[in-house]
Amino acid sequence: MPLCCIQTNTKLDATEMEAAHGGLSEWVSRQLGKSKDCVMTQIEAERSMSFGDSFEPCAFCQMTSLGLDDDQINALSGKLSRFIAETFTIEESRIYIQFEAPPRSRFAWNGQPFG
């Protein structure tokens, strides 16, 4: 059930947006060992965002997945930051990532909680 949401102030045309979704879905699937069929992505481009009192390109990412532990988060942090930086042409120092690992009983699919 991985969900990866990215908000950025960078501009993407329709082709770039489709490629970003495809790349992000593939990346999450590969990194977490999950089928792409269960990966959800959300990308919000051209957001009104600043970082450090500057409107230069920046991003905020939320990665949610059941069972994420501290070791996985440590391993994913740098990789996900680099992926976002390369995909959206943003300096890594202008990216925040929030990881969430909700209890299985707090996340549902197809009308039923996972746990």
**Domain coordinates in residue numbering, the chain:** 3-113
Residue 58: pLDDT over 90: yes
Q: Which CATH superfamily is domain 3-113 in?
A: Macrophage Migration Inhibitory Factor (3.30.429.10)
Comparing C-alpha atoms, which of 59, 41, 31, 44 is closest to residue 3?
41
Cα radius of gyration (the chain): 14
Instruction: Check residue 115 and give its pLDDT.
Output: 79
Percentage of the residues of the chain whose pLDDT score is greater than 70: 100
Residue 30: pLDDT over 90: yes
- Mean pLDDT (the chain) is 96
What is the rounded CA–CA span in Å between residue 91 and residue 82?
A: 9
**pLDDT confidence band for 28 (50 / 70 / 90):** very high
The average pLDDT across 94-108 equals: 94
